[in-house]
């Protein structure tokens, strides 16, 4: 019953806040039947429906948003193995998602290995930082926060042979201190889990994204057309830590 109420709320919100502005949508993983690595994974059948809806609604899936309207960038958080299992679909449909890697998870059961990562990079997948230990960044003192950001950046740059300037906050939590430390570490684009349009991005480098991993087709259509906008305040109260007194 609650799921149906939520679906109706999203559909109504999508109609009231309708827009085709460019957006980032994000998932954690995808899976075929009988091969699921996390309970946060999206069935491939549902993911394919999402892609079909994007195309029907006139959106273009891009590796990086550059235009204010009708572009969608796809993210995956954590680096689960399912995107490797289903890489053929991404290649066939020319989908180049950005995958945020937590260094401590690489190579663990259910997660990408370094060889998986390099193979996917050769296929056009983009990899950026999800910090080192995949823990709430606001919980670290200054010394450990510096390590989380710098060590993960250095590890990925050594592995990928490219500059890493983008980071996604683990578990979504951030603060003004975290934002400042990220910028000092050399990150210029800071991905949150706050919903909104891409060009709502603030001048502090914070980027908005829309979670869609369990969205039904009707919910998904509403979300890509603006349904999440009224819920921004709820997400911000949950994820923006203020004040952040950890030192």
CA–CA gap between residue 105 and residue 133 (Å, rounded): 8
103: in domain = yes
Over residues 172-215, the pLDDT tens digits come to 999 999 999 999 999 999 999 999 999 986 778 899 999 999 99
12: in domain = no
Number of domains in the chain: 1
Q: What is the pLDDT of residue 8?
A: 66
Q: In CATH, what number is assigned to the domain containing residue 59?
A: 3.20.20.370
246: in domain = no
Domain, as residue range, for 156: 19-239
Over residues 130-178, the pLDDT tens digits come to 999 999 999 999 999 999 999 999 999 999 999 999 999 999 999 999 9
Which candidate, 147, 156, 80, 66, places its Cα nearest to that of 113? 80
Q: Are the C-beta atoms of 50 and 212 separated by less than 8 Å?
A: yes
10: in domain = no
Whether 3 has a pLDDT exceeding 70, the answer reads no
210: in domain = yes
């Amino acid at each position: 019953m609650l799921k149906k109420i939520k679906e109706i709320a999203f559909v109504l919100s999508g109609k009231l806040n309708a827009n085709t502005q460019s957006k980032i949508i994000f998932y954690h993983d995808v899976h075929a039947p009988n091969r699921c690595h996390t309970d946060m994974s999206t069935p491939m059948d549902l993911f394919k429906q999402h892609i079909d809806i994007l195309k029907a609604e006139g959106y273009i899936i891009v590796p990086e948003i550059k235009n204010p309207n009708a572009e969608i960038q796809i993210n995956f958080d954590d680096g689960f193995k399912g995107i490797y299992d289903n890489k053929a679909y991404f290649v066939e449909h020319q989908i180049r998602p950005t995958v945020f890697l937590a260094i401590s998870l690489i190579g663990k059961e259910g997660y990408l290995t370094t060889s998986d990562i390099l193979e996917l990079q050769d296929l056009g997948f983009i990899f950026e930082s999800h910090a080192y230990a995949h823990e709430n960044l606001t919980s670290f003192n200054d010394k450990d926060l510096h390590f989380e950001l710098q060590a993960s950046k250095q590890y990925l740059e050594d592995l990928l042979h490219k500059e890493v300037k983008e980071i996604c906050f683990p578990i979504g939590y951030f603060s003004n201190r975290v934002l400042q430390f990220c910028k000092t570490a050399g990150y210029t684009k800071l991905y949150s889990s706050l919903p909104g349009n891409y060009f709502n991005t603030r001048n502090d480098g914070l980027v908005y994204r829309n979670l869609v991993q369990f969205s039904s087709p009707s919910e998904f259509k509403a979300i890509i057309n603006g349904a999440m906008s009224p819920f921004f305040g709820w997400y911000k109260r949950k994820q923006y830590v203020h004040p952040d007194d950890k030192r």
